[in-house]
Amino acid sequence: GVAAYMFNRFYKIQLPPYLGFFGGKRFVPIATAFAAIFIGAALSFIWQPIQVGIQSFSDFVVEGNPTLALFLYMFANRLLLPFGLHHILNVPIFFEVGEFVTASGEVVRGEIPRFFAGDPNAGNLGGGFLFMLFGLPGAALAIWQSAKPENKARIGGIMVTAALTSFLTGITEPLEFAFLFVAPVLYFFHAIMAGAAMSLMYVLGAKLGLTFSFGFIDYVLLYPLNTKPWLVLLIGPFFFLLYYVVFRAGIKWFNLKTPGREDADTIDTGEAQAGTAHEFARQLVLAFGGRSNITNLDACITRLRIAVVDAGKINQDKLKAMGAAGVVMVGNGAQAIFGPRSENLKTEMEEYLSVAGDDAELSEADVPDVQYTSTETTAKLRDPEAADKAHNFIKGLGGSVNISKIEAAAETRLRVVVADQSVIDDAALTAAGVHGIMRLPNQVLHLLVGLNADQYAAEMKGQLATA
């Protein structure tokens, strides 16, 4: 976040001539380094009370009221998951809480290590199996059955896949993100029920271990080591029914736009769903703004993590239409939740980009949320320097002979068609008042100039007519 802010703030900075080498983008890592020093110094004081709080919570889990603590742990865990911060709670619980001395004298700490070391008091997280094996699949069924008739086949495939992923592996993000953004009230109820599952299994004396998550694979493999693992099979169906009823009723009462109930989807996915792997990868690249907009490709277990030049080019609706359960914007980056497919999708995108041609770039019509027709909304305050700015804009664009067409677009932009983009002087345009430059195919430029775009367009047309 700091690096992204520094880039946006300083990537065009102009330094005195004797420091000119360090200007522009070269200044960004310098500024980031100094910012990191100050932030690190501040965090050395800020983090101490936070660490004390985490440690106090860990002690509370062991020595205070474990029943309440386990509820709070899973409740907070689910609420932090959308931000990727749930690991802040997982690490101390998994690897620090509690202490057990083995027969050889080795001191073992943490729920997971203590369980495998034979500590009879470990394995207190078994409630996770209730909502991942049974609860969330019940929610998936409710979402499926609540979909509009014409969407049930499509939503059924998505929900069955997401439910199986949760059931088998304990990876819940594809399913949770399917309703998190469109129905946050359901996600809140889900967090409460997940916390209740943890407390219930602890009160009943169940001790279940895990390696990665609360999936069926862990449940089966560790069954012989568990205490009262049969409680999952006994209570699980009740959690399936509980989730189903809560989600079905919530969707109906609040008229929530869960998957399959949204307005008609008109997003063009380029027939990628039925096309080849390269075609799907191409549509993903276009959804992220085209090849030139992508600066870094990465993936974790459930998310495509893409760093981009211009976040405004990312088409979130298209990504969701292609199967993303949600899209999280973080600075100049996007995290598209495609579930366990994410790593393979990253590989397919890399393979496609290695051989792609001009078809990997956005056409002008593909740029999201830009309307090329003028609107009735105009700036309330006219710019008294519009004539001078228009003159400088024309000069920065290579002169009147280089400009084929100009018009105002999307209230704040000038859409310019030029003969040769290579003669464009970005520095001159920036100095003249252009806040951003977007280059598109077919010699088209978008100049971000603010709410007086229509005034500048009129001035430029007048000057071009008399040139």
pLDDT digits (tens, 9 = 90+) for 188-230: 999 999 999 999 999 999 999 999 899 999 999 999 999 999 9
Q: What is the pLDDT of residue 58?
A: 66
pLDDT mean over 347-352:
90
Tens digit of each residue's pLDDT (9 = 90 or more) over 122-157: 999 999 999 999 999 999 999 999 999 998 998 998
Handedness of CA 144, 145, 147, 150 (dihedral sign): positive
Classify residue 264 by its DSSP letter: P
Q: Indicate left, alpha or beta for 212 from its phi (over 0: left) and psi (-120 to 50: alpha).
A: alpha
Tens digit of each residue's pLDDT (9 = 90 or more) over 166-175: 999 999 988 9
DSSP H helices, 266-367, are 277-287, 316-321, 342-355
pLDDT band at 266 (very low <50, low <70, confident <90, very high): very low
- pLDDT over 80 at 270, yes or no: no
User: Do the Cβ atoms of 326 and 317 come closer than 8 Å?
Assistant: no
Instruction: Please identify every residue annotated as catalytic.
Output: 300
Of all residues in the chain, the percent with pLDDT exceeding 90 is 44
- pLDDT over 90 at 245, yes or no: yes
Q: What is the mean pLDDT of the chain?
A: 86
Structure tokens at 316: 């979130």
Q: Which domains does the chain have, with CATH numbers?
A: 1-48 (no CATH), 118-253 (no CATH), 272-363 (3.30.1360.60), 386-465 (3.30.1360.60)
What Rg value do the Cα atoms of the chain yield, rounded? 28
pLDDT band at 1 (very low <50, low <70, confident <90, very high): confident
Which residue, 385, 368, 315, 115, is CA-closest to 229?
A: 115
Residue with the bigger pLDDT between 450 and 353: it is 353
User: Do the Cβ atoms of 208 and 132 come closer than 8 Å?
Assistant: no
448 three-state secondary structure: strand
Q: What is the pLDDT of residue 133?
A: 97
- pLDDT over 80 at 371, yes or no: no
Q: What is the pLDDT of residue 62?
A: 61
pLDDT mean over 260-283:
64
Tens digit of each residue's pLDDT (9 = 90 or more) over 390-437: 999 999 999 989 998 898 886 788 999 999 988 999 999 999 989 888
